[in-house]
Amino acid sequence: MSNEGTARLRTETSPNAAGLRRGLWLSFLDAYGLEVAANCGADWIGVDLQHGTLQPCDVVGLLRVAEQAGLPLLTRMPSHDPALISRAIDAGVNGIIIPGVDTAAQARALAAASLLPPLGSRSTGTARITLRPNNTADVPLLLPMIETALGLQNAAEILAVHGVDGVFVGPYDLTVSSGFSSPTSPETLSALKHVISLARRAGKTVGFMAGRPELLAMADQADLVAVDTDVTALRNGLAGLFATTA
Distance CA 235, CA 27 (A): 13
Q: Which amino acids are annotated catalytic?
A: 51
Give the orientation angle of helix 186-202 with respect to helix 171-178, to 10 degrees.
Answer: 120
Residues 6+ apart with CB under 8 A from 235: none
Contact assessment for residue 158 and residue 115, using Cβ atoms and an 8 Å cutoff: no
Q: Is the dihedral of CA 35, 41, 47, 53 positive or negative?
A: negative
Give the orientation angle of helix 82-91 with respect to helix 104-114, to 10 degrees.
Answer: 40
Contact assessment for residue 24 and residue 230, using Cβ atoms and an 8 Å cutoff: yes
Closest to 150 measured CA to CA, from 101, 102, 199: 102
With residue 109 as reference, give the H or E element that holds it: helix 104-114
Contact assessment for residue 174 and residue 184, using Cβ atoms and an 8 Å cutoff: no
Closest to 73 measured CA to CA, from 92, 53, 52: 92
